[in-house]
């Protein structure tokens, strides 16, 4: 009887999605829901199958993922470097932080007209948008992480003879790591949002292109495949970030 109850509890969270899916399928089949608005779930599955069979989904997925991670590496790397710089040096903070804080408040998407003028509709435009978007969360969390390292630990390490480089490597950087990883995780979420917008504005490949192209031909099933792919990619990025946290913060009480 206990087994049955446990099984019911496991099943409960999936009740609402299953109900929604069932009523969606039903309304689509009976014609209450036009396929121009929303295709039936089964059609979406078939479209996804078809796209994987032709290889279209994989090639577009590869292009999108490549863009996203290139942007993350460029923007995140710069954010990390600048955050370390301003976090470790008061002078650098005074010189640069005000500027960064001002720029931070500009939504990256507001720059789309400029970006198109600068880079055209090339790869550069997408890379720039993603890199710009992920730069700020990584920068802010790196800076904040370094500044919030326990002063007592730094004092202790100094009195135990750790010099500049040793102090950074053994105390300041590991101390800032939880905050840096929060920034990275946030940046990974933002990375997809920006990429979607960039690919939707203009592209000749990628998931965004695939969905926009499908819209032209009223292929709502393909559009939905694209949307669901984004959801899946976002989830994958989040899982990867979590794995990284678990790896880097093994010492943290919340991971033991």
Which residues in this chain contact other proteins in the complex, by CB under 8 A? 150, 152-153, 155-157, 159-162, 166, 170-171, 174-175, 177, 249-253, 256
Tokens standing for residue 222: 């393909």
Query: 44 or 173: whose CB is closer to other proteins?
Result: 173
Q: Shortest distance, CB of residue 243 to other proteins, whole angstroms?
A: 18
Query: 217 or 251: whose CB is closer to other proteins?
Result: 251
What is the distance between the alpha carbons of residues 38 and 223, in angstroms, rounded to a whole number? 10
What is the distance between the alpha carbons of residues 241 and 120, in angstroms, rounded to a whole number? 32
Q: Are 113 and 202 in contact (CB under 8 A)?
A: no
Tokens standing for residue 77: 């790397």
What is the distance between the alpha carbons of residues 63 and 67, in angstroms, rounded to a whole number? 6
Q: Shortest distance, CB of residue 236 to other proteins, whole angstroms?
A: 27
Q: Shortest distance, CB of residue 127 to other proteins, whole angstroms?
A: 34
Query: 177 or 201: whose CB is closer to other proteins?
Result: 177
Question: What three-state secondary structure class fits 77?
Answer: helix
Q: Shortest distance, CB of residue 51 to other proteins, whole angstroms?
A: 45
Q: Shortest distance, CB of residue 183 to other proteins, whole angstroms?
A: 18
Q: Shortest distance, CB of residue 63 to other proteins, whole angstroms?
A: 38
What is the distance between the alpha carbons of residues 36 and 201, in angstroms, rounded to a whole number? 22
Query: 172 or 188: whose CB is closer to other proteins?
Result: 172
Q: Are 195 and 127 in contact (CB under 8 A)?
A: no
Other beta carbons within 10 Å of 41: 16
What is the distance between the alpha carbons of residues 235 and 251, in angstroms, rounded to a whole number? 25
H or E stretch covering 213: helix 207-216
Q: Shortest distance, CB of residue 87 to other proteins, whole angstroms?
A: 17
Query: 91 or 250: whose CB is closer to other proteins?
Result: 250
Query: 141 or 229: whose CB is closer to other proteins?
Result: 141
Query: 69 or 168: whose CB is closer to other proteins?
Result: 168
What is the distance between the alpha carbons of residues 185 and 191, in angstroms, rounded to a whole number? 10
Return the DSSP state at 45.
Answer: H
Other beta carbons within 10 Å of 243: 10
């Amino acid at each position: 009887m206990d087994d049955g109850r446990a099984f019911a509890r496991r099943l409960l969270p999936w009740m609402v999605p299953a109900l929604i899916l069932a009523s969606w399928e039903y309304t689509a089949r009976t014609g209450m829901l036009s396929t121009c608005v929303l295709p039936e779930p089964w059609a979406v599955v078939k479209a996804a199958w078809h796209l994987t069979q032709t290889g279209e989904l994989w090639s577009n997925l590869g292009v999108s993922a490549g863009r996203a991670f290139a942007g993350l590496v460029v923007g995140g790397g710069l954010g990390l470097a600048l955050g370390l710089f301003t976090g470790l040096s008061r002078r650098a903070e005074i010189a640069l932080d005000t500027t960064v804080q001002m720029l931070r408040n500009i939504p990256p998407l507001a720059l789309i007209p400029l970006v198109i003028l600068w880079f055209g509709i090339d790869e550069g435009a997408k890379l720039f948008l993603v890199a710009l978007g992920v730069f700020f969360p990584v920068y802010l969390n790196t800076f904040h992480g370094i500044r919030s390292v326990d002063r007592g630990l730094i004092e202790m390490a100094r009195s135990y003879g750790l010099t500049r480089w040793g102090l950074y490597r053994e105390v300041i950087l590991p101390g800032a790591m939880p905050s840096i990883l929060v920034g990275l995780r946030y940046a990974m979420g933002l990375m997809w949002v920006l990429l979607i917008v960039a690919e939707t504005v203009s592209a000749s490949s990628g998931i965004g292109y695939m969905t926009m192209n499908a819209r032209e031909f009223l292929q709502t099933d393909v559009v939905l495949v694209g949307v669901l792919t984004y959801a899946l990619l976002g989830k994958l990025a989040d899982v990867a970030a979590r794995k990284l946290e678990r790896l880097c913060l093994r010492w943290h009480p919340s991971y033991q």
